[in-house]
Amino acid sequence: MKEKILQQLKVIEETKDVRVLYASEAGSRAWGYDSSTSDYDVKFVYAKPVIEYINISKKETDVILDDSLENVEFHGWDIKKFFQLMGAGAGAAEIYYAPHYFYTRTFCSEVHGLINNPMFLPLNTWCMHYRGIAKNNYHSYIKTKELMNGEEPISKKYIHVMRAIVNDRHIRENRERLI
């Protein structure tokens, strides 16, 4: 599957006129609780040609979605969006730390430099991000389903809630070691 994913990333580069800088696994496969029916979720970071960043008259998207490969969903962020999200929530850091398919050394050294800079590391923001995920998933998938229509939520939904709680707790309890 890795070869197919790498081939599709090349197709995305060619058809969207971007350069993929980093691509990693996401979702249940990245978190280690995938099942035989789990699809592949690939998150990637890309850069557009330099002229696109300085052309103020053109409104371009900062996200690329691609589901043309069966059983694989690609979700790409422009590099500018990726770095904005690094300070806004833990989602970008999760992409960086997930098992990767492809990376460029320059991109990784820049991200690594930011993550290891105590002046940057937004741990409180990341904790709020995880608490929000836990709360939203609990209300959307567990509490509402059980109370409203009697359906039993699947175990994967419980794992989404618990993963967020554990991540929040890990950051809070290990704050000194993380900085």
Q: What is the pLDDT of residues 114-167, one digit of tens each?
A: 777 666 667 777 777 788 878 887 877 777 665 445 555 566 777 778 777 887
Counting beta carbons within 10 angstroms of the beta carbon of residue 63, is it exposed (0 to 12), middle (13 to 18) or buried (19 or more)? exposed
87 and 9 assigned to the same domain = yes
**What is the extent of the structural domain holding 158?**
123-178
**Average pLDDT, rounded, for the chain:** 81
| pLDDT value at residue 164 | 78
- pTM for this model (two decimals): 0.76
- Pick the last residue of a domain from 115, 143, 162: 115
Residues 98 and 134 in one domain: no
